[in-house]
Amino acid sequence: MLLGDLLMILIGFVAGAAGGALGIGGGIVLVPALTIAFGVPQTVAQGTSLATIVPTSVSGAIAQDRAGNVMRRAATWMAAVGVVAAVAGALLALALPTEVLQRLFGAFLLVSAWRLWRG
């Protein structure tokens, strides 16, 4: 196994653990890790992140649902609308210049961190 493979396994572990423990999308971990550690273009990092989120989200959601922590009606509505919005968002991301996309993602992370830090 190559060092790069081991690093990707570690990144996947961190993303999955953070997603399950904190309820965050793995993209918060995966996109920066892929772009910084591997030099992957932003759009490729985002696409890869989206592909990995499905199995990690489903397994985390099942565990939370079994504990009674899922508002099923709300989750159903948000998922239905989210699927449509995800397609629109992906098309927008593909149309934006890489630099703009990176700055938007960075700004999103900074605003999210600041709001969470304030409590």
Question: Which of the 8 DSSP states describes residue 68?
Answer: T
For 97-107, how does the pLDDT look when each residue is reduced to its tens digit (9 = 90+)? 999 999 999 99
Q: Are the beta carbons of 45 and 30 closer than 8 angstroms?
A: yes
Q: How many CB atoms lie within 10 A of CB 119?
A: 4
What angle, 0 to 180 degrees and rounded to 10, lies between the N-to-C axes of helices 98-118 and 42-66? Answer: 40
Give tens-digit pLDDT for 12-68. Answer: 899 888 887 887 877 888 999 999 999 999 999 999 999 988 888 888 899 999 999
The model carries a pTM of: 0.78
Higher pLDDT, 22 or 108: 108
The two structure tokens encoding residue 83: 């699927």
Q: What is the pLDDT of residue 95?
A: 95
